[in-house]
Amino acid sequence: QKEVEQDPGPLSVPEGAIVSLNCTYSNSAFQYFMWYRQYSRKGPELLMYTYSSGNKEDGRFTAQVDKSSKYISLFIRDSQPSDSATYLCAPGGEGNFNKFYFGSGTKLNVKP
């Protein structure tokens, strides 16, 4: 069983739509949950992270963690063409936070 499962997409939405990106994970010891955004041919950049269960909001982005079901989500409100990228979830936190596991990434395309 993979540590992290993520639907690879691609996901295509019109500008202004609400986007929901999701991952499931298998290790109940994970404490930190990261979302990275990766533009084409670039390295990933940290978008948001949450600790344990709950929600965290940052502008148009909301990260949500449900540890009971091992399910993590990223919501994007009022999506923009500049949001078009691949989004990778990365739960982890074991071993003094030195090891994280990345999902396969969901490719998002926001059409103008």
Interface residue with other proteins, options 21, 34, 76, 108 (CB under 8 A): 34
| Residue among 21, 72, 74, 88 that touches other proteins (CB under 8 A) | 88
- Give me the least distance between CB of 62 and other proteins, in Å please: 18
- In angstroms, rounded to a whole number, what is the distance separating the alpha carbons of residues 101 and 33? 10
**Contact call for residue 24 and other proteins (CB under 8 A):** no
- DSSP line for 1-24: --SEEE----EEEETT--EEEEEE
Query: Is residue 61 near other proteins by the rule CB under 8 A?
Result: no
102 binds other proteins (CB under 8 A): yes
Find the binder of other proteins among 25, 30, 85, 93 (CB under 8 A).
Answer: 93
| Sites of contact with other proteins (CB under 8 A) | 4, 6, 8, 32, 34, 36, 41-46, 49, 88, 93, 96-100, 102-105
